[in-house]
Amino acid sequence: MGTHKENIEERKGLVPMSNEYRMSQARLDELQTELNYLKTTRSDEVAEQIKIARGFGDLSENSEYDEAKNEQGKLYSRIAELEEILQHAVVVDENAADNDAVTIGCKVTVADGAGNVLPMAYKIVGSQESDPMNGIISEESPFGKALMGAKEGQAVTVEAPSGSITYVVQKIER
């Protein structure tokens, strides 16, 4: 059996590296604003809810207290999540990107394998900004991964649950 120091050294290699969260400066600012709000205003509101609920008496059968404590747990969880994201955030300079290839920040128009241009141009973003229903696609999604680095006229294959789908990049816009 090894020493405490050796055990710590062995475990260091087992801890996975944290993700990089690639995003625009605007998204980084939004997340920082949300974190500040949660740590100040919202935290005070939840603390007040708990204080009021305690005043209702017996905590063992106090649903208001239970609800307030659950809200506090959600709040702390979101704060921890935001701190993790912000600690590992990498701001992507969309203006410094290659104009000839699909990168974060560009809009991409594609056609299906039959040559039919899809009606929506897709904006490629970091994982913290995606909104697929509105054509805002994460670089980490199967579609985003297939498009990253592609050039106009290039065919890309997306591995979907229903099978492989081929698209051709028609237009790249900044």
Q: Do 51 and 22 meet the contact criterion of CB atoms below 8 Å apart? A: no
Residues of the chain with CATH 3.10.50.30: 95-173
- CA 160 – CA 83 distance, rounded (Å): 32
Cα–Cα separations (whole angstroms), residue 160 to 95, 116, 143, 145, 146: 31, 19, 9, 12, 11
Lowest mean pLDDT among 13-22, 58-67, 124-133: 13-22
Residues of the chain with CATH 1.10.287.180: 18-91
Q: What is the fold of 18-91?
A: Helix Hairpins (1.10.287)
Lowest mean pLDDT among 4-18, 36-50, 103-117, 121-135: 4-18
Q: Give the per-residue pLDDT at 108.
A: 95
Beta bridge partners of 153: none
pLDDT digits (tens, 9 = 90+) for 148-160: 999 999 999 998 8
Amino acid present at 96: A
Tokens of 151: 């050039």
pLDDT digits (tens, 9 = 90+) for 39-80: 999 999 999 999 998 888 777 778 888 899 999 999 999 999
| Residue from 18, 24, 20 nearest 104 by CA | 24
Question: Taking the domain 95-173, which CATH number applies?
Answer: 3.10.50.30
